[in-house]
Amino acid sequence: MKLGIGSWTYGWSIGVRGYPPPTRALTALDLLSRAHAYGLGVIQIADNLPVHELAQSVLTELKARAAEWNIAIEIGTVGVQPDHLSRYLELAKFLEAKLVRSLPGEIGICPNPAQAAVWLKQVLPAYEAADVVLALENYEAYTSPQLLALLRDVSSPYLGVCLDTVNSLGILETPATVVEQLGPYVRSLHIKDFGIARAESRMGFVVAGRPAGEGLLNVDWLLAELQRVGSEPNLILEQWTPYQGSVEETIKLEEEWADRSVRFLKRYTC
């Protein structure tokens, strides 16, 4: 089990759709350098920093620096179409990444589980041959029972779950529900802490990010439960940093939260 950061640790630093871009956007090489500075063992480059759009020269430098610094690379995308997943397998093989994380589809545009199973069965033999795990992330498109049924239908040791600790709140599933259903299949873990507070009007609630260890997520319980069912995934810090009125001020808070979160999480892996 290694601790790492991902491109969704620094969503604002990379750029958020619908907001002004940062003065200097964080790059994949920057992410790797930050992991090295923190003394971490893994990075996950996901869909907000698309690996398939990186120049070959950047991929080559990423691979070389990661090897020099002994940092594992994981990559992520969106979609389960066979051609797309095959493309990401080739990228994983080049980068010597042992895990590809994917969301089954864009928010609001997602194949039903039966179609996803058909597509996954087409590509999983190649993943198995390459010794690369494909981890599907839980989010509001599928309930945990639906995702569990999909995993059992495909039935491959190289298909698992990238468990996100907050995403399934969108379908009224708590972290406890998600872990109970999907725990034995977890191959990657997004540590994303959060708080729930009343709206200013007192009518409704607001779910917002918090630094790891400072919100409602019980990390001790989470890791103990996963260990109990035999799952010891890499821990990837992700953040939902609230907007601070400007992108640059939000980036400052994002970086401060990352520092606090990494310090907190190191106790679990050091």
Span 3-269 CATH architecture = Alpha-Beta Barrel (3.20)
The whole-number average pLDDT for the span 89-109 is 93
The whole-number average pLDDT for the span 151-164 is 97
At which residue do the structure tokens 């039966």 appear?
Answer: 114
pLDDT of residue 103: 95
Pairing of strands 193-198, 205-210: antiparallel
Burial 105-140 (b: 16+ CB within 10 A, else e): beeeebbebeebbebbeebbebbeeeebbbbbbbbe
The whole-number average pLDDT for the span 26-53 is 98
Tokens of 182: 């999907």
pLDDT at 107 over 90: no
pLDDT of residue 108: 75
The whole-number average pLDDT for the span 37-43 is 98
pLDDT of residue 25: 98
Q: pLDDT tens for residues 49-64?
A: 999 999 999 999 999 9
pLDDT at 19 over 80: yes
Tokens of 87: 């493309």
Q: Taking the domains of the chain in order of start, what are their residue ranges?
A: 3-269
pLDDT of residue 227: 97
pLDDT of residue 95: 98
pLDDT band of residue 270 (cuts 50, 70, 90) is low
pLDDT band of residue 184 (cuts 50, 70, 90) is very high
The mean pLDDT value of the chain amounts to 97
Write down the pTM of the prediction. Answer: 0.96
Q: Which H or E run includes 206?
A: strand 205-210
